[in-house]
Chain A
């Protein structure tokens, strides 16, 4: 019988849609500021901020807070651990989708 159960080894930290979108955007660049992430992921400020903190706590991203003139600027970048975790997640998820397609 085909096993349709969701792969439990998927990284739950990344699997959340909001955090997944953040990780996918950051995987395509060295770093991005808060506005860029807000525009590209279509998350609202509060949710984005919450997800960024969660990803930082997991050690997947590094957040830098600075000032550009008098305006505060927050930017994030994937840590090597985060880049590795995202790569692993993509592989596992693609394998899962393929197994569903083949079933």
Chain B
């Protein structure tokens, strides 16, 4: 063993393993897509109409069905997580052994920064909008877009702390597209769907690129 120990590199490389192969991006992209879809459904006129009808038909069943979405969501993400673990164990990390990633991957300071960014954009956005007659669509777009920008801040900061250039780009592209969304004339529901789609697609492209290079590296090492 080399006597010189680069503490930061050892810890960072271990943390980075969770994100290096891109599989995590597929999972997070799926979460964004589901959240975007659900928000779009519940904020659309059609969704609200269906909800009112269902409540009038049977309020108990409707409430139970809606509450069941929460464990279903967790079950789906848990299932995807298990698939990722199995794939890593059998293919990607076959010779490396097993590692359970940290439960909290985002540093508390980064979370505080992202929340502050979100709050500032929402407050400024709403103040600017209230100058005119209040536009509900625009104010909801500000809230959704600010969420997208705050997510971008988190990815840029993670890219910085993990020395992962891919995440810096993910954060910049996702954050920029989310900012564009604020000035795009979309309705409440399509605005939320758009944020979900922006982040799902950005992360899936990032995941595909990372997975491809990981598989190519594995192939090169094997031959």
Docked CA distance A20–B11 (Å):
11
Docked CA distance A34–B157 (Å):
31
Query: Contacting B98 at CB < 8 Å: which of A18, A20, A24, A75?
Result: A75
Chain A residues near B10: list those with CB within 8 A. 21, 24-25, 28, 40-41
Docked CA distance A38–B98 (Å):
11
Q: Is A29 in contact with B15, judged by CB distance below 8 angstroms? A: yes
Docked CA distance A73–B13 (Å):
23
Chain B residues near A36: list those with CB within 8 A. 96-99
Name the residue of chain B whose CB is nearest to the CB of A43.
B1
* Residue A37 lies at the interface, judged by CB distance under 8 Å to chain B: yes
Number of A-B pairs, beta carbon distance below 8 Å: 73
* Residue A27 lies at the interface, judged by CB distance under 8 Å to chain B: yes
Chain B residues near A70: list those with CB within 8 A. none
Q: Is A28 in contact with B12, judged by CB distance below 8 angstroms? A: yes
* Residue B124 lies at the interface, judged by CB distance under 8 Å to chain A: no
Q: Is A20 in contact with B7, judged by CB distance below 8 angstroms? A: yes
Q: Is A28 in contact with B15, judged by CB distance below 8 angstroms? A: yes
Q: Is A32 in contact with B95, judged by CB distance below 8 angstroms? A: no
Chain A residues near B96: list those with CB within 8 A. 35-36, 39-40
Interface string of B47-79 (1 = CB under 8 A from A): 000000000000000000000000000000000
Chain B, interface residues (CB within 8 Å), range: 20 to 34
Q: Is B97 in contact with A38, judged by CB distance below 8 angstroms? A: yes
Query: Contacting A32 at CB < 8 Å: which of B2, B3, B100?
Result: B100
Chain B residues near A32: list those with CB within 8 A. 14, 97-100
**Which residues of B95-132 are within 8 A (CB) of A?**
95-103
Whether A90 contacts B7 in the complex (CB less than 8 A), given A36-B96, A39-B97, A75-B98, comes out as yes
Q: Is B101 in contact with A30, judged by CB distance below 8 angstroms? A: yes
Could you list 29 examples of A-B contacts with CB < 8 Å?
A17-B3, A20-B5, A24-B7, A24-B10, A24-B11, A26-B14, A27-B14, A28-B10, A28-B14, A28-B15, A29-B15, A29-B101, A32-B14, A33-B97, A33-B99, A34-B97, A35-B97, A36-B96, A36-B97, A36-B98, A36-B99, A37-B97, A39-B96, A40-B10, A41-B1, A42-B1, A43-B1, A47-B1, A75-B98
Q: Which residues does A use to contact B, with CB under 8 Å?
A: 17-18, 20-21, 24-43, 47, 75, 90, 93
